[in-house]
Amino acid sequence: MKTILAMNHLFEKIENLTHEDGQRQFLKSLLISNHENGNENYQQLSYNTFQLQISFLRNIIKQIDDLSNILKADETILVSVKNQKLLQGCYQLIISLGTSQCLIPGLGVNLSKRCLSATLLPTLDLYDMQKYEMLVECTDFLTRSYTIPVLKKIIITLHLSDYIAALIQLAFAPLKKPGSYSNFIMTPDLYDKLTEDREKYTLIYEHLVVNCFQPTLMKELLVLQGVTDPSPPAFVKRVISKEMSRRLLAPGGLLSLMRCFMESYNADIGLDWKKIEMIGKIVAVKHGTNSDVFYLNIICSQITQILSLNNTHYLATAIACVLSLNEKYPQMEPVKIMMRNIFQAFDYDYLITSSNLPGTIAVTTQEVDHKVNILCACMDITNLNCPYKLLLPNLYLLFMLGFKCTKSEGLKMKINNILLKCLHQLQKNEMTNLMKVFLFGKACDAINHLQVEEYNSGLTIKYVSTPVTYNKEEALTYFLSILKTSTVTHFIQYVFEISLEMIVDLNEQRRNFTSRQSCLTAEKDDFISFNNMHEQYVIILQLLSELSTLPKIVSILKQSPLPVLKFIEHFILKPKIGDDEECVTIALVLLNTILSNSKNVNDTGKTFTKLIPVLKSMSKDDNTVIGLLCKESLKLITSDKHVQSETEYAKALSDAFDDLLPVRAHGLIALTKLVEMKDVETISKKHYLFCLYQEQLKDRDSYIYLSAINGIAALGSHCTEDVLHVLCKEFLQVNTDLGNIHAKDAENRISELRMKIGDVIVKVTKKLGEMAIVHKTILLNTMLCGCRDEDPLIRTSALSNLAEIALVLHYKMGTIIYEVLHCVWSILETDKAIECRRAAVLVISSLLKGLGKDVLNELKENLLPIYRTMKKLYSDDNEDSVLRLHAQIALEELNDIVNQFLFPELKMEKQLYVMNKPDDIFK
């Protein structure tokens, strides 16, 4: 308690010093200093001013020293926020009136640049020894305060640069030798004292720079080095430069430098490329007096440690440092090792030469994740011109990792990002070789081979002794998925043109093989080669088929149609072999696309005039697709003018393939409206639209998904069997990957979608009307399966849909009616969900109402159990009120049916005939 009272008393004294007494003493000093220049006794007044000012500062220092003793004696004492602000004001007074005015010009940050009110402070004209005495007084105080945690925090956050500047001046400022000078006399005793003080403050400085938080220290040193107007003295620049080199070469120095530059921004606003470039330039310059190898070993070891952190900022900066070092020291071994570890992490040829032990792990799961992150950081620093050719050797193995990765979406997205950014930078000749490797695999004659395997923990790469079978179908699917996410036109154009060239070359090789085989000169190896060639031919054909449907290809053909000329001429002009029909069809489709979309039809048509004789001969067969396409081509080539008007169907179809999700959904909705309006062009392409809608069912967005469902439903009256098959399948097996949402929300979203699909099925069934009886098996079986679903909402929806479908069928269900009753009975007896039991009673009520008098013939012996169950449910007061209401309605329906059967209404009517009575032929 006494300690607290003493501390509060000290704070009261400090407050008086800084607010009342302090103001009076400071104003007195200010008035004296303003009259010094006009007074004859200038030296005496200067001394008095100095004594007043240092006395004022010493009073504040004494009170804070007393407070320090209390805090040091009991470290559990807390200082309030109000008192901390009071202490901050004291330190600002000491720095502004004591330290800053005693520093050499250019050393330290000028107060006027930190605070506007600093310009109001007077500049006292003190002698050198007076400045030295005041600076020593203030610096010793800061040194004592630095040992107290509360005071140390104030110094580090607000006045670290001032403290460092004072120590640099006291420890490193050059001293004049003993002797007489114009305005100063250096005595031997004074020189010895100053030298002794230098040694003392050098030790304090060394302790500070070693134990201070390094990023903050580096930041303050850079601030002191960057002072302008005036610039720092030469000795200050040397001290700071040397200290920065020492801090950089110390353990963790490079990381501290990065944090010094980067703590002012975060990853959400992007990387600061100028700062990263600056760090790279700093690292590329050798620091210290040691050899290049010594310096590079230290820096490279620090970079290796930084690369292990997996931090986006640090990885990108570390890669920039490595590239800067490689640019300046390309032949140095430490740099070579770093470059190899980073840019040959997934180099297939390098890895297979690194080990000869089959079965061992080449790259572990953790290493795969870590190295992918590093390469991803390489792509993030493309603003600094990261040479993409360094990454080319890694792309094949990354591609294999990509199409094997099925359990980690994050890793797959990073791999896709690396591949896409590299592919966008490639020239056409480089792209050709890489596409062959991606689609057909890599031919390797080495003893070892690499195999990518996926486990629950992630992907691994292991050595195997036997060649690995390359899954070309998976590779093609993955390549297409990457291609479709690209928005770079020239990349898509390169892929399209290369695909055309590859299929032409493969077809030439097949023709040559066929000619050799006809001459009976083919050998066993030739047949193996032919099988591989044929497999490659099929893969490229599939790729070309997919590419031809992309809207971007159509726009490419509009701008530059000539690159596909060789492909078209090859398959149309040259003699064909057995299975060239697909390529001929693609060639004709491309030809018609070019002719119909060209801005200058006459010039384009003249380019293809040499095809006219062949097209005429091929168009003679009207019953084939090729014949029809040839006729269309001839019409487009020979026509003088071709005016193309974009129809509503074409507009909607174009929107359906747009990259933007809302536009794509609008296109699907527009196509659905055209189907409902029975647009002639749209209906003629109903099977194509049906496939389009089916493909959109794979989309994860529920907006697109439901638009596709409604589109399929609209086609119900045009291709009924296919539509019902798809809708029923989706009702029972909705894609569980819809949406990026958590488990509970995902379940609710999927249940909602399935119920909407059930409503669509009922809607289609009602449209079919009496024709629905043809499809009763699939409809009823689907709903009965839905009644066994784990989700009570789906069971309820299925029962409700069952009643609606039964009503449309006029309850002509045959023996399936007994399965329906059994299902309803099971739900009534065992289901715990009240909604399901309500729906079950509703189904019975609907059945009774719909069958009418036929219920006595249809249900027979099942009628009595129904009556007893309904009566039991209605009589039970503890039962759900809504369920009892449905049971009451069912009993009333049954009562009306029995009354009508037992007491039929007799019609009292007599037929009157105006003319002759008609003959009754049925007697």
For helices 720-732 and 702-714, give the axis angle rounded to 10 degrees.
150
192-205 per-position pLDDT tens digit: 898 999 999 999 99
Cα 836 from Cα 825, distance rounded (Å): 11
As a whole-number percent, the residues of the chain with pLDDT over 90 amount to 7
pLDDT-based confidence at 165, cuts 50/70/90?
very high
Nearest one of 732, 739, 791, 722 to 757, comparing CA atoms = 732
Q: Report CA torsion sign: 334, 336, 339, 340.
A: negative
Please state, rounded to an integer, the average pLDDT across all residues of the chain.
79
Q: Is the pLDDT of residue 690 over 80?
A: no
- Domain ranges in the chain? 2-212, 267-441+455-467, 489-644, 645-697, 842-916
Q: How many residues does the chain have?
A: 923
382-397 per-position pLDDT tens digit: 555 556 788 888 999 9
The pLDDT of residue 739 is 43
Mean pLDDT (whole number) for 37-48: 55
Cα 49 from Cα 900, distance rounded (Å): 123
Tell me what percent of the chain is helix, strand and coil, each rounded to the nearest 5. Answer: 75, 0, 25
**Pair of tokens at residue 83:** 């008192």
What 316-320 contacts at long range (C-beta under 8 Å, 24+ apart), as own/partner pairs, is: 316/271, 316/276, 316/377, 316/380, 316/381, 317/258, 317/262, 317/276, 317/279, 317/280, 318/377, 319/374, 319/377, 319/378, 319/381, 319/386, 320/276, 320/277, 320/279, 320/280, 320/381, 320/384
| Cβ atoms 836, 827 nearer than 8 A | yes
Pick the range with the lowest mean pLDDT from 344-348, 548-552, 881-885, 888-892.
Answer: 548-552
pLDDT-based confidence at 738, cuts 50/70/90?
very low
Termini Cα distance of the chain? 125
Which spans in 769-880 are helix H? 776-786, 792-808, 816-830, 834-851, 855-858, 863-875
Which helix (H) or strand (E) covers residue 345, if one does?
none
561-612 per-position pLDDT tens digit: 776 777 777 777 765 555 567 777 777 777 777 776 665 555 555 566 777 7
442-494 per-position pLDDT tens digit: 876 666 788 888 888 889 998 888 888 888 888 888 998 898 888 888 888 88
Residue 502 neighbours by CB under 8 Å, 6+ apart: 432, 435, 436, 540
Q: Is the pLDDT of residue 842 over 50?
A: yes
Q: Is the peptide bond before 174 cis (omega within 30 degrees of 0)?
A: no
Mean pLDDT (whole number) for 116-138: 75
Q: Is the pLDDT of residue 682 over 60?
A: yes
- Has this prediction a pTM greater than 0.85? no
Return the residue matching tokens 């001293």. 175
Fold of 489-644: 1.25.40
Amino acid identity of 345? A
For helices 834-851 and 792-808, give the axis angle rounded to 10 degrees.
10
* Backbone phi and psi for residue 461, each to the nearest 5 degrees, phi listed first: -120, 125
pLDDT-based confidence at 264, cuts 50/70/90?
low
858-902 per-position pLDDT tens digit: 677 777 777 788 888 888 888 888 888 888 888 888 788 778 777
Cα 337 from Cα 352, distance rounded (Å): 18
